[in-house]
Amino acid sequence: GAVVSQHPSWVICKSGTSVKIECRSLDFQATTMFWYRQFPKQSLMLMATSNEGSKATYEQGVEKDKFLINHASLTLSTLTVTSAHPEDSSFYICSVLGGNDQPQHFGDGTRLSIL
């Protein structure tokens, strides 16, 4: 069964709307989760590392005020795209570390389309 649940699967909304994406670890407690963004026909680009109980660590070039990350519990991290614009349209995927030397488990992704 699924290890990571991501919701919603897809979102279509108007420009200027804020969109929240949830990532839940189902099988174990996750102190660290990762958020990726993937544009069509491109690779996954790491946006930020979500740390339970502390501030997220953002990769270079990712606006922390634009992409708000909250990791308030060991099973839930949320990514909020604030005041989304068409250029934010992308496939957003979260992942959870499986433990020592274990692979990451990915959510099914959220396809975000901003009109």
Give the length of the chain. Answer: 115
Kindly state the smallest distance separating residue 113's Cβ from another protein, in Å: 14
**62 makes contact with another protein (CB under 8 A):** no
Kindly state the smallest distance separating residue 76's Cβ from another protein, in Å: 18
**3 state DSSP class of 88:** helix
**3 state DSSP class of 78:** strand
Restricting to residues 11-30, which ones interact with another protein according to CB under 8 A? none
- By CB under 8 A, how many residues form the interface with another protein? 20
**112 makes contact with another protein (CB under 8 A):** no
Measured CA to CA, the distance from residue 7 to residue 16 in angstroms comes to 20
Other CB atoms within a 10 A radius of the CB of residue 113 amount to 13
Q: What are phi and psi of 42, to 5 degrees?
A: -120, 175
Restricting to residues 30-59, which ones interact with another protein according to CB under 8 A? 34, 36, 41-46, 49
Applying CB under 8 A, the residues found at the interface with another protein are 34, 36, 41-46, 49, 60, 93, 95, 101, 103-109
